[in-house]
Amino acid sequence: MKILRTIKQTRKYLAGVRAEGRSLGFVPTMGYLHEGHLSLMRRAKKETGSPLISIFVNPTQFGPGEDYRRYPRDLKQDERSAEEAGVEAIFYPSVKEMYPENYSTRVEVAGLSGVLCGASRPGHFRGVTTVVLKLLNIIDPDVAYFGRKDVQQAVLINRMVRDLNMKCKIRILPTVREKDGLAMSSRNTYLSQDEREDAVILYQSLQKAQAMVKSEIRDSKKIISAMRRMVKGRKTARIDYIAIVDPVKLAPVRKISGDVLLALAVWIGKARLIDNLFLKKKRDGRFFVSYRL
């Protein structure tokens, strides 16, 4: 496993990969890898043959008072997991390498970055799109892989790549879950045993919403109220938002008549967890859960 700490070193390594005529798949992460991350790497291996990942806990996407400092990190374990998933090299830059002195350029997807998670985490998505754009410029992959778990991030990156005419292909892959349905996340390590039990309520409330839509309930307010009641029933849970939105514009939908995204963010103790469900409308008017975006 190659650990590439500088941009220069990385470009040199990638020139070698390209010289062998291989295409390049790229998986950006913040590390502390779990099955969700590994599913992206395995797909990258299968589709491109030579996956490279990055591990970079990006300070600019954390707000003041957020968990940047205590975000879990374990490079040695990550190396082992990534290697098993077929990864050959890890781009592992320092903060200084990514943001040298007098760094001043930022990119923002207007509008979409200020809603849902963006409303409670001002500046978060500007940090995300800026670092993803930088990473894509550094690595110049053929395909980059992202998870549906962070659905707003996926929507924004798709939009940025389209708006800026970037040639990299973006693949969004399904959310990998624990046995009880909890979406895997590096932040799940923050949960105590009681909190871990409560955390499953995010998934369960989405399941409830899905059942309501399937039984012809189309009023978003009703569905959101039912989800709120469920989440509030858990002692350690505090709702940040629960929303039903259009999957392209991320604008609230009042009456469900086409494809919708059900998304929520809930504090479970000190962990802010997110989850979502994408309901697509079939030609016959019925709805089904889509694992693609």
Q: Tell me which residues are annotated as active site.
A: 37
CB atoms within 10 A of CB 161: 19
Instruction: Closer to ligand AMP by CB, 223 or 274: give it.
Output: 274
Residue 164: CB atoms within 10 Å: 12
For residue 189, what is the DSSP state?
G
Binding site for ligand AMP (CB under 6 A): 29-30, 36-37, 39-40, 146-147, 149-150, 175-176, 183-186
Query: What DSSP designation does 112 have?
Result: G
- CB closer to ligand AMP, 48 vs 185: 185
Tell me how far, at minimum, the Cβ of 37 lies from ligand AMP, in Å: 5
Length of the chain: 293
Tokens standing for residue 21? 């005529």
Name residues whose C-beta falls within 8 Å of residue 234's C-beta, 6 or more positions apart in sequence.
198, 201, 268
Q: Which is nearer to ligand AMP, 131 or 237 (CB)?
A: 131
Task: For residue 86, give the 3-state DSSP assignment.
Answer: coil
Order of strands, sheet of 143-147, starting from the edge strand that comes earlier in the sequence = 2-4, 89-91, 49-55, 23-29, 143-147, 169-173
Give the number of other CB atoms < 10 A from CB of residue 211. 12
As given in the structure block, the two tokens for residue 59 are 């300070």
In Å, how far from its chain's centre is CA 97?
Answer: 23
Query: Rounded to whole angstroms, how far apart are CA atoms 93 and 95?
Result: 7
Question: Shortest gap between Cβ of 146 and ligand AMP (angstroms)?
Answer: 4
